[in-house]
Every structure is written in structure tokens, then in C-alpha cells.
Structure 1
Amino acid sequence: MTRPVRVLIVDDDPMVRAGLTMMLDGAEGIAVVGEAADGDEVPAAADAHAPDVVLMDLRMPRTDGITATRRLRGRADPPEVAVLTTFDTDENILRALRAGAAGFLLKDTPPEQLVQAVHRVASGEPILSPGVTRRLMDRAVVQAGAYERARAALDVLTPREREVVVAVARGRANAEIAAELFVSLATVKAHVSTVLDKLGLDNRTQIALLAHDAGLA
């Protein structure tokens, strides 16, 4: 049997933690292995429970979720992080994704969608709540020089790698990219891995952001 996805829940509200644990721990293929009440508890909790996915609140009293995400993603072999919050401002979305979060979900996400999101994030796919993607693309203000920096960064890629970057930015899964480019799934995975290494990025979401900054998506 496939090992269940191990989930760590980080939220300062005990009722929220209890609700999420009840919802997710009974879902197929998911095991809630631990909880933390603040961002400063995350490193110890991650060490103790070895989660695959961390569901991270944004606003906590001592260490916020973005700071905790950045610190966690800077460790060797870190778990994936999906932010789960009620604060969906453009600034929060961008800060979380640039800190290394693989997803940005709202707390009113229906249970079945949250379960699917956990599985997708665990498999390396980015996930955003409905509406967040469009807001991210339509309203995010590109900082001065971001276009030129993004284009220069992408210049290190081969033409085929750039095609993969564009497909990732358009939300295509690996199997869809393989079909579009007439290559094997293993080849697509290898290209994505190479792109991440060349660009110094952590995940597919950051690839999409860079492609957006470069005007490719």
C-alpha cells in the first residue's frame, strides 16, 4: 500500500486545528501527524513528525506563516507548504509564494477540494484556491526591472526547457505537457528538475511566477 501523505497543521486557533484534523485525518491517503500553534514551533514539529505537507496559517502571534515558510523551505529536504488562510490579499499571496509555498488556499475551501489539494501539493503540483490565480496574474504589480531580470534568467534555458516553463506557467500537469510536446513523462520531469536547478527555484509555482514576470504567460 502507498504510504499516506503526512500532514502537519499550523494554526494559532485550536478550533481550526481540531476541525482540520477531523476533516483530513479521516480522508483516504492522508494522516495528520502533528500540530503547531505558532510559526516558531514549526521547526521542532517538522523534526518530530517528518511531514510531507505543512498546512500553514498566515497570521500568528509570534512568528507569522510567511516567515515560518521561508525558514522551513530553507532547510535540507523540506516538506511542501500550503498556506491556509482567510487573508487573500495580493501582497499575502505573492509573499507566500515567493517564500516557497507550493499552494495558497482559503479556509472556506470545501473539504473535498482541500483533500485534493493536499494530495496535489504532496506530489509536487502547485495549487491555488479558485480566483487566486486570476487575481495573481491580473493585479500583481511587476516591480521595476522585474521583466528584464526574468528574461535574463530564462536566457540560460534551452528552447525545449522554455517550452516546459510556459506549459508549467499555464497550469499544465506533467502528463499534459508530455502529450503537448510529444515526449515521455520521464522527460518532462527531467526538464522541470533541470529548470529548477538552473534558475535556483524551489517549486513549479515559482517557475510560473518567473514566466509571468517575463511576459511568457
Structure 2
Amino acid sequence: MINVVIADDQVIVREGLKMILSLHEEIHILGEAKNGRELLQLLDHAVPDVILMDIRMPEMDGIEATLAVKQRYAAIKVIILTTFNEDEYIFEGLKNGADGYILKDSGSREIMNAIKTVWEGGVLLNPKVAAKMAEAFQGKRKEGPETENKLHLLTPRELETARYLLSGKSNKAIGEALFVTEGTVKNYMSRILEKLELGNRTELILYLSKLDRI
């Protein structure tokens, strides 16, 4: 069972998501909040596995709330609900530890895939969002210095793990592909982050995305 909390200031969005998720037996709606501040109060009493987080909310928006959630409850997975024209929020959210992004108009299958992917340890970006991020990175690359490629510091197995992560696989899926345990994959990830001097998996994906090749 995956416990989910929905944070969105629009009642119609919350109700729509609850209706979609109620069709899946493996999902349990633990609660809902209309802004980040209310969400943090809710977490004092009920800690979910996954939060579906709107970006634009009064009192405390989704970007600030994501940072607060990750600082207090690192294990909670946060999926940001976004529209196609909120690039600056996407980058800020990833910096604050968001585990994935999906567009607000995503269908039931996409939403469920997002929840299951981050719950299993993966990082998920909607293809359209990922394309816009890649486009933005290309622009930043032209404006500033090229990202230093430190992949030579990784062992062949660590490099293979990084490639699987970039393709969107969860720890469990990576372990199955490499014929190792999920715990071993987590150890690989820890060593990769340490060698590349990165803070989390999301930063790793952003770093790999900026490289010309991997």
C-alpha cells in the first residue's frame, strides 16, 4: 500500500486526483492540504510515502514546501504537479529535492506510473518537461562554462548504474538489470554521489543530463 497526500489549493484538482487514485487498490489517500503550511501541519500527524505537490499555492508554495518536507522527512517522495510554462519553478524544485515532475493534465496511467516510480526509488520527469529542461540546459551551456565531466572517477559498474538511473529506472529495476540486490544499488549510488560531489539522485540526474555523453 502506498500512502499519498495531495497538496493543492484548488478543490477541483484535489477531488479529481482523489477520484483517479481511488480506482487503484494499492493507493491510500492519507490526507490533503490546500497549501504548504497546512501540509507541514498534516505531516506532524501522518507521514505519507508520496506527496503530490502543486507549485503555486498561497501562504507557502510547493517549492518552499518541498524543501521543508525534505529537510524534515527525507524519505518522503515529492512529485511536483506543474504546467508546461513553469521552467523556473522546475529547476528550483529539483534543487530542493523533488523526486519527479508530472504535468497537471496527465492521465491516470501517467500519474500512477509517477507514484510507483518515485516510491520504488526512481526519479521521474514527464517527457515534455524533460525536453524543456534539456533545452534550457543547452542554453545555459552556451552562456556559461561547460560542465566538468567527472565520470572517469566512476568504476564501470558505477557508470552502468548511473546510465540506468538516467533512463528512469528505480533502484529495484537497476538491481534486477545488474543482478544485484537493491541494497547494493543504494551503495553504488552513495559512492557515485560522493565521487561526483553531489547531494542527491535528482542532482545526479541533472548533472548527467548536462553532459554531452555518458
Identify the TM-score tier after normalising by the shorter chain. 0.7 to 0.9
Q: Which runs of 5+ in 1 are unaligned?
A: none
Contact 1:121–1:127 (CA under 8 A) maintained in structure 2: yes
What pairs up with 1:1-217 in 2 under 5 angstroms? 4-140=1-137, 141-142=139-140, 144-145=144-145, 147-148=147-148, 151=149, 157-174=154-171, 177=174, 183-186=179-182, 187-196=184-193, 199-203=197-201, 205-217=202-214
Count of aligned residue pairs for this structure pair: 209
Contact 1:56–1:84 (CA under 8 A) maintained in structure 2: yes
Contact 1:168–1:208 (CA under 8 A) maintained in structure 2: yes
Instruction: Using the TM superposition, give the Cα deviation of residue 5 of structure 1 relative to its aligned residue in structure 2, in angstroms.
Output: 0.6
Partners of 1:15 and 1:184 in 2: CA distance: 44
Root-mean-square deviation (Å): 2.5
Instruction: Using the TM superposition, give the Cα deviation of residue 175 of structure 1 relative to its aligned residue in structure 2, in angstroms.
Output: 6.2
Partners of 1:20 and 1:115 in 2: CA distance: 11
Partners of 2:7 and 2:100 in 1: CA distance: 15
Percent of residue pairs bearing the same amino acid type: 35
1:170–1:53 Cα change, 3 Å = same
AA paired with 2:134? Answer: M
Instruction: Using the TM superposition, give the Cα deviation of residue 174 of structure 1 relative to its aligned residue in structure 2, in angstroms.
Output: 4.5
Instruction: Using the TM superposition, give the Cα deviation of residue 26 of structure 1 relative to its aligned residue in structure 2, in angstroms.
Output: 3.4
Partners of 2:97 and 2:110 in 1: CA distance: 21
Q: Secondary structure at the match of 1:142?
A: helix
TM-score computed with the length of structure 2 as normaliser: 0.83
Contact 2:35–2:58 (CA under 8 A) maintained in structure 1: yes
TM-score computed with the length of structure 1 as normaliser: 0.82
1:22–1:172 Cα change, 3 Å = closer
Partners of 2:194 and 2:38 in 1: CA distance: 30
Q: Secondary structure at the match of 1:84?
A: strand
